[in-house]
């Protein structure tokens, strides 16, 4: 099975302009923490860049950012904001080896079917340089399902999410929980996972 859900991708294709133009701010506090762990001007791959606000913030800080998204329509919207190409990349298409100092995956891997997430995390591990940092955020829950907009979510608990990371591959895995919101406007419990590849 592929590491994506076609119904969810179709939702974002249809909502691309509205989704990208909703005025979402970059996650500056999380971005700052992530960037502090990287070498100055280091290489970053952003997965699921959405409207491009996080890539924009990291580029402004002098980092070498490669923005990507799995939906061509969303990628085109991000290009308008960033003024640079945004590659269309599904998670299963990530084949880079030891290429990036950091990989940023804000609110995108939460759409990967549960059975596929450990495999996608291994692809991300392979794409990182030794000591590289991987950040991802997820909507917390106890079992996979769909939201009111029919988008698929893997809805992990912190324990389940930790099990998706092979401890033999990662030097550290930290998971924080906080309340926030989402595109559906509902209060949301979020998990923020930061992992460091073994050197």
pLDDT in tens, 35-90: 999 999 999 999 999 999 999 999 999 999 999 999 999 999 999 999 999 999 99
Q: From CA 118, how far away is CA 7, in angstroms rounded?
A: 21
Q: Which domains does the chain have, with CATH numbers?
A: 6-197 (3.40.50.150)
How far does the chain reach from its first CA to its final CA, in angstroms?
Answer: 31
Pairing between β-strand 128-139 and β-strand 152-153 as defined by DSSP bridges:
unpaired
Report the C-alpha dihedral over residues 104, 110, 116, 122, rounded to 10 degrees. 20
Residue 33 in tokens = 């923490």
Q: Pick 16 or 90 by higher pLDDT.
A: 90
Q: Helices (H) and strands (E) in the chain — how many of each?
A: 6, 9
Residue 40 in tokens = 């100055």
Q: How confident is the model at residue 182 (pLDDT cuts 50, 70, 90)?
A: low
pLDDT value at 125 more than 80: yes
pLDDT value at 166 more than 80: yes
CA-atom Rg of the chain in angstroms: 15
Is the Cβ–Cβ distance between 169 and 196 less than 8 Å?
no
DSSP 85-141: --EE--GGG----S-EEEEEETTSGGGS-GGGHHHHHHHHHHHEEEEEEEEEEEE--
């Amino acid at each position: 099975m592929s590491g994506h859900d076609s119904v969810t991708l179709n939702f974002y294709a249809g909502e691309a302009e509205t989704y990208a133009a909703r005025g979402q701010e970059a996650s500056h506090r999380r971005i700052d923490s992530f960037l502090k762990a990287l070498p100055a001007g280091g290489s970053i791959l952003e997965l699921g860049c959405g409207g491009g606000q996080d890539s924009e913030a990291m580029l402004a800080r002098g980092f070498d950012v490669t923005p990507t998204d799995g939906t061509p329509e969303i990628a085109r919207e991000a290009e308008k904001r960033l003024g640079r190409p945004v590659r269309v990349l599904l998670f299963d298409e990530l084949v880079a080896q030891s290429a990036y100092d950091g990989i940023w995956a804000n609110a995108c891997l939460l759409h990967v079917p549960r059975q596929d997430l450990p495999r996608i995390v291994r692809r991300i591990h392979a794409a990182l340089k030794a000591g590289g940092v991987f950040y991802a955020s997820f909507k917390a829950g106890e079992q996979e399902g769909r939201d009111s907009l029919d988008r698929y979510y893997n809805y992990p608990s912190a324990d389940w999410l930790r099990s998706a990371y092979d401890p033999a591959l990662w030097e550290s895995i930290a998971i924080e929980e906080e309340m926030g919101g989402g595109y559906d406007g509902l209060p949301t419990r979020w998990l923020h996972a930061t992992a460091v590849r073994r050197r």
